[in-house]
Amino acid sequence: MIEKPEVIIIGAGASGLMCAIEAGKRRRRVLIIDHAQKPGQKILVSGGRCCNFTNYHVDTGNYISRNPDFCKSALSRYGPEDFLALVKKHRISYSEREHGQLFCTGNSRNILNMLLAECKQAGVSFRLDSKIEKIERLGERLFKVYSNRGDYACRSLVVATGGLSLPAIGASPLGYEIAGQFQIRVWPRSPGLVPFTLPPRDRGRLSTLSGIAVPAVISRKRHSIGENILFTHRGLSGPAALQMSLYWRPGEALTINFLPEIDLAQALKKHRQQHPQRKVKSMLAEYLPQRLVTVMVRSDLAESPLQAISDKKIREISAELQQWTVTPGGTEGFQTAEVTLGGVDCDTISSKTMEARQVAGLFFTGEVLDVSGWLGGYNLQWAWSSGWCAGQYV
Ligand SMILES: Cc1cc2nc3c(=O)[nH]c(=O)nc-3n(C[C@H](O)[C@H](O)[C@H](O)COP(=O)(O)OP(=O)(O)OC[C@H]3O[C@@H](n4cnc5c(N)ncnc54)[C@H](O)[C@@H]3O)c2cc1C
């Protein structure tokens, strides 16, 4: 016999669970189907397992989309304070880190347990470990979903399948395929919030820097991001590099200023006057890790006493440390990316209900849409907000 819930949500992740809670509260019979064996796996690994669940300063400017205003309505109707109220209701302890980021003080499991408790209270059913085989539209607001564990019919179908990052814990392209099946445009996808890899030549030269983190400003074209950069054995990571990966295009060069706070040329001239015998490298070591100085500054300059350094050479040293230019070979890809750039075209979706404009009853929420947030709790907030909105209309 075919099961007939009113609402089927494909994806037991952040936005799917939120949508289910809201629809369940409206007394809709909701079934969540997921191919993973357990729900909310990405929530568990988020924020270094402490779940950066939202941010005090959420604004449309923190998101990247071909339709930059699309997220405005959802974020204003269900914002950080609403999710925080839920966190407080469940007495989950949290703390604010820099830039308004809110993390669990325990671990991400608390957030997932909270969502599952809310689902239980709202009467939501789950079918995990289920492979979706086919979806059919039988008529206006009537869908049939075929899976290896049974077939279902529903009036509202929510696609909450997330992006392509971390295939190892359940990511798949199903959401984009469903959009394609219904002639809904999907923009090309690429990994975002992902470390850069460097070409072998640079990797060899920089290998000794692996593990070093320095505050820096990283720039491309009009974008500049000031935060920590972390050298890895494959390239560049840390918040500044991850954030820049949202904007970087293959082949583009990046410029890095390792000493954004000072006028290095002026500082070198001052030290040259005051400590002429001092070596350049020991003066620079006051500001930067010695290993970084050794790699970035030509050894004949680094070993010279300051008095032997001309103004021209000072300009050279400043350029090496304040305008270091590097062209990444690529990124570490979807294996390590935190988000997927691109996805279901927001112009085809109602920003109020998350329903496809041309397909009544078909909804898209969360990361499967062409909305990607900065590092810092913005992506989960988008998942909560978009899931909440769809939950009011399914
Ligand atoms: C390592 C890591 C750390 C992160 N940390 C943070 C953070 O601290 N703060 C933040 O804001 N964001 C963070 N993010 C991003 C954030 O987790 C996602 O943007 C968010 O989970 C997206 O929610 P979603 O509901 O759209 O998709 P998901 O939460 O990814 O859920 C999608 C669900 O769909 C299921 N699914 C996929 N394909 C199928 C299929 N074919 N059949 C059935 N089910 C399917 C999956 O199994 C999954 O359960 C992080 C991401 C990663 C990878």
The whole-number pLDDT of residue 140 equals: 86
Residue whose CA is at the smallest distance from ligand 1 atom 53: 338
Does ligand 1 come within 6 angstroms of the Cβ of 153?
A: no
- Please give the pLDDT value at position 1: 78
Q: Across the beta sheet with 30-33, what order do the strands follow?
A: 125-127, 30-33, 7-10, 156-159, 362-364
Atom number in ligand 1 closest to CA 55: 11
Residue with tokens 């988008």: 382
Cα 149 to Cα 135: distance, rounded to the nearest angstrom = 14
Ligand 1: atom nearest CA of 166 is: 53
Atom of ligand 1 nearest to the CA of 175: 38
Q: How remote is the CA of residue 14 from the centroid of ligand 1, in Å?
A: 6
Report the nearest-CA residue for atom 35 of ligand 1.
11
Sole residue written with tokens 């992902």: 194
Query: What Rg value do the Cα atoms of the chain yield, rounded?
Result: 25
Give the pLDDT confidence score for residue 222 in this predicted structure. Answer: 85
From 46, 64, 237, give the residue whose CB has the most ligand 1 atoms within 8 Å, as the site to mutate. 46
Could you list the mean pLDDT of each consecutive 10-residue stretch along the chain, which spans 394 residues?
A: 94 98 98 98 96 98 97 98 98 96 97 98 98 95 96 98 94 98 98 97 92 97 94 97 97 97 95 95 95 95 95 96 96 97 98 98 98 98 98 98
Alpha carbon 365 to its chain centroid, in Å, reads: 16
Closest C-alpha residue for ligand 1 atom 33: 11
Q: Which residue's CA is the nearest one to ligand 1's atom 51?
A: 338
Q: Would you say 215 and 390 are in contact if contact means Cβ atoms under 8 Å apart?
A: no
Q: 101 has which bridge partners?
A: 55
Helix (H) or strand (E) holding 145: strand 142-147
Q: In sequence order, which residues have a C-beta less than 8 Å from that of residue 52 and are 6 or more positions away?
A: 46, 97, 101, 102, 103, 376, 377, 380
